A and B are shown apart, each in its own frame.
Chain A
Amino acid sequence: MSWKKALIPLASVPLIILLAYGFWTDPRAIPSPLVRQAAPSFRLALYDGDPLSLEGLKGKPVVLNFWASWCYPACYEEAPLLEATWRKYRDQGLMVVGVDIQDKEANAREFMRRFDFSFPNGPDPGSKISIDYGVYGVPETFFIDRQGRIKYKHVGALTPAVMEEQVRAILRET
């Protein structure tokens, strides 16, 4: 068979390579256009009654976490880590804020009690904040620096390593 003829079956090689490339991608990992942008402002009516707004936190690095009590197991896995991080770094000025999306209030309060949440949490009626932050699902976490810029977005349950690295990064920035 001449080499010209061999070209016919070989024409399918690029396709095979493209499909094989598919194994190395994650169809669920979608980069957020908000990273390195100013974090959208929001107002949260906290479960403990106080209001909270992003403007009010100016100058502080913020870990903004989107969760829900029905999000099992991922939200349940990372909840203790959120609370621990808040306790560890609050003195250095770190804020941890939880946004509870599409939840029943009673279930949400039960969730917060279960993990002994002491950082501010509030519901997101109408999913306004979630849409503003381009949230695809729960849990998702945004790391916002002192200038109010989003430095990093994490999808899925946080791991201690990621948390530590990102918190240090936003604390470092002045």
Chain B
Amino acid sequence: MISTLGGFTLFLALGVTLYAAAASVLGARQGREDWLASSRNAVLAHFCLVTLAIFLLEYALVTSDFSLRYVANNSTRASLTRYKIAGLWGSLEGSILLWEWLQSLMAALVVARYSGGGGSEAPSGTRQLLPYVQAVLQGISAFFLILMAFGANPFARIFPVPPDGRGLNPLLEVTDMLIHPLLLYLGYVGFSVPYAFAMAALVTGRPTEEWLRITRRWTVVAWLFLTGGIFYGGWWSYRTLGWGGYWAWDPVENASFMPWLTGTAFIHSVMIQERKRMLKVWNLTLITLTFTLVIFGTFLTRSGILGSVHAFADGPVGMMFLAFLALVLFFSFGLVAYRSDQLKGHGELDSILSRESAFLLNNLVLVGICFTVFLGTIFPLLSEAVRGNKISVGTPYFNKVSVPLGMALLLLMGIGPLIAWGRASLNNLKRNFLKPGLAAVLGAALLYALGVRQVQVLVAFGLCFFVIGTIVFEFWVATRTRARMMGESVLAAFGTLLLKSRRRYGGLIVHLGVVIAILGIAVSSVYKVEREQTLKPGDRLSLGRYSVRFEGLAAGERPTHILVWANLQAFRDGRPLHELMPGQRFYPNQQSPFASVDARYHWSEDLYVILSAFERDGSSATIKVIVNPMISWIWIGGGVILLGVLVAVLPERRLALLALRAKAQVA
């Protein structure tokens, strides 16, 4: 019943989508407002249909209707309801349905936001672009619907109906599963909107700055979700996977990182085009690359051509994704080529010593890192194709190549926001960079005096100090100036400043968050120490200032698994600190146990313990202890980034209200 209904709904949605795309293009070509209106309605109907499909699948998941193969594979009767719901994105078919739903949601939001040709506040030109934007968005939707109809049907039946399902991978039965994939998908899908606008701008022959203005907020919000998804994923894997790390340069992680890099480059280079009307082709290329990399990443995960933790099954889906990838590449770059005459920029630059140059270099480095990650990810394939030699390209490679690039980026992060547009005079440079530069040198010297001898750490810290210096300096000078000129209190001046140029100061806060995260990454990767030892009850394992005493083993039954854990007493400098209980989870359907990490999380350093092995009689346990200094700074940095983006994109009116209230309080 659900199977038939679900399949029918998806087919219907496919039909409606294709109609919406066709009607909007025809309507725009022939200037028929009624067709355009009909296409807008079709977009909304499409959204309703896909929503219905989601509800059907969720209903089947929650009620454990194992006549659907997808439900049988991704939930069990015993699962908690929230994990039954999360089963929707537990594997291939459902996650495509979720993706398509978000895609249809975006299209519907675009209609709602700009219906009737854009409303009063929409930038000019929206009206001309909109039909083609819809056509592109509906085209993307059509691909996902075709995928489900012919390759990965979430409503496929299974016969005979199994008495119970197989359930999610135990690693996925955690609350994080409810958040991380959604954030990532929202990020991925979000970038399709600026992409669609870019393509519409090319199709209509209006590749000027208007599509950038319209999509500015969409882009930043998509970037926020993608960033959030990446940070959250790192945090999740750090706390649960049990190897003490958060990022393994796995192909799938790279797949989310690459669009992030090009997306970040895009957000920056857009500012040059808005101001100077140059870099048109470059911006179109960047947004196309970002969207293509999203599809490429999905292709990597869904095709199984590269082994990966997150990889789903193979089958026709991989081929279909590749075909879509090829289509997107040809279509987008074909359009860019077709319109290349209109895109000839008349770039002008007052001086090479200017913010424009800093931004160009920033783009170069970001795209350079993206290229490195891309090359490293597909190089094993290339090596096999060309040389027949299977090789690995893993963490050491990516770290070695990307760390120096990251440092260069850090330097530019300090320079970019403060150097003058057009031409930076010596005075401008001295005023803005002398003090932060001094702070960087002094900070690095201080660290050297404290005994830090590693060049990489000193350089990283020096650059971080420099960037933080520039940001603090900028905030301070601007606040002071305003306070003096307007006679406001420092706090009020700071607040108004944030509100007055939210984009600029929000951006600076984002930079601050990135620096905090980079500090965490640098310190935790260089100064991480670990020790593994087999302990008898009463034995101690010491590592630096810490030690843990093994008190004994215990075991207990949990709703879905059996947990074996070690009772440990942790000490710091000989004083009792905390009890820690790292364990192993044994699931009935899984061959090997899963780690159950315990740790003392702290802003300065984490004490992270893993139970790696134990004797069944409890006579001994092998414990791995990792001390990860400043690793929390990564997550804190993520939080600061979130804050910065919110400052930059929250609607004007709400912030103004807040400001009024604050002013009232101050007064």
Direct touching of A and B (C-beta under 8 Å): yes
Chain A residues with CB under 8 Å of chain B are 1, 5-9, 11-12, 15-16, 18-23, 25, 27-28, 30-31, 70, 72
Known: A5-B338, A9-B330, A12-B326. A23 touches B378 (CB 8 A): no
Question: Would you call A27 and B306 a contact (CB within 8 A)?
Answer: yes
User: Could you show 12 A-B contacts with beta carbons less than 8 Å apart?
Assistant: A8-B333, A15-B329, A16-B325, A16-B329, A19-B322, A21-B381, A21-B385, A22-B305, A23-B305, A23-B318, A25-B381, A28-B307
Which of A6, A30, A70 is B591 in contact with, Cβ under 8 Å? Answer: A70
B319-340 contacts to A (CB < 8 Å)? 319, 322, 325-326, 329-334, 336-338, 340
Residues in B with CB closer than 8 Å to A27 are: 304-307
Which of A16, A21, A23, A70 is B326 in contact with, Cβ under 8 Å? Answer: A16
Name the CB-closest residue of A to B340.
A5
| Chain A CB within 8 A of B299 CB | yes
Tell me, in angstroms, the Cα distance from A15 to B39 when the chains sit together: 36
Residues in B with CB closer than 8 Å to A5 are: 337-338, 340
Residues in B with CB closer than 8 Å to A15 are: 329
Tell me, in angstroms, the Cα distance from A83 to B290 when the chains sit together: 56
Question: Would you call B322 and A31 a contact (CB within 8 A)?
Answer: no
Residues in B with CB closer than 8 Å to A16 are: 322, 325-326, 329
| Chain A CB within 8 A of B572 CB | no
| Chain A CB within 8 A of B240 CB | no
Distance in Å from the Cβ of B641 to the closest Cβ of chain A? 32
Question: Would you call B333 and A12 a contact (CB within 8 A)?
Answer: yes
Tell me, in angstroms, the Cα distance from A147 to B382 when the chains sit together: 37
Question: Would you call B325 and A18 a contact (CB within 8 A)?
Answer: no
Interface of A is mostly: helix
Q: Which of B305, B325, B381 has the largest count of A CB atoms less than 10 A from its CB?
A: B305
Residues in B with CB closer than 8 Å to A72 are: 591
Distance in Å from the Cβ of A74 to the closest Cβ of chain B? 12
| Chain A CB within 8 A of B33 CB | no
Distance in Å from the Cβ of B319 to the closest Cβ of chain A? 7
Known: A16-B325, A27-B307. A9 touches B333 (CB 8 A): yes
Question: Would you call B384 and A9 a contact (CB within 8 A)?
Answer: no
Number of A-B contacts (CB under 8 A): 65
Question: Would you call A23 and B319 a contact (CB within 8 A)?
Answer: yes
Residues in A with CB closer than 8 Å to B340 are: 5, 8
Q: Which of A6, A7, A11, A22 has the largest count of B CB atoms less than 10 A from its CB?
A: A22
Name the CB-closest residue of A to B323.
A16
Residues in A with CB closer than 8 Å to B591 are: 70, 72
Tell me, in angstroms, the Cα distance from A19 to B385 when the chains sit together: 10
Question: Would you call A9 and B334 a contact (CB within 8 A)?
Answer: yes
Which of A7, A9, A20, A30 is B390 in contact with, Cβ under 8 Å? Answer: A30
Name the CB-closest residue of A to B378.
A18
Which of A8, A30, A70 is B334 in contact with, Cβ under 8 Å? Answer: A8
Name the CB-closest residue of B to A17.
B385
Which of B306, B330, B331, B338 is A22 in contact with, Cβ under 8 Å? Answer: B306
Known: A12-B333, A16-B326. A1 touches B303 (CB 8 A): no
Known: A12-B330, A27-B304. A20 touches B385 (CB 8 A): no
B371-427 contacts to A (CB < 8 Å)? 378, 381-382, 384-385, 390
Name the CB-closest residue of B to A28.
B307
Residues in B with CB closer than 8 Å to A20 are: 322
Tell me, in angstroms, the Cα distance from A148 to B519 when the chains sit together: 55
Residues in A with CB closer than 8 Å to B385 are: 18, 21, 25
Name the CB-closest residue of A to B336.
A8
Tell me, in angstroms, the Cα distance from A1 to B390 when the chains sit together: 41
Known: A30-B390, A70-B591. A22 touches B303 (CB 8 A): yes
Name the CB-closest residue of B to A31.
B390
Which of A9, A18, A70 is B381 in contact with, Cβ under 8 Å? Answer: A18
Residues in B with CB closer than 8 Å to A9 are: 329-334, 337
Residues in A with CB closer than 8 Å to B333 are: 8-9, 11-12
Name the CB-closest residue of B to A22.
B305
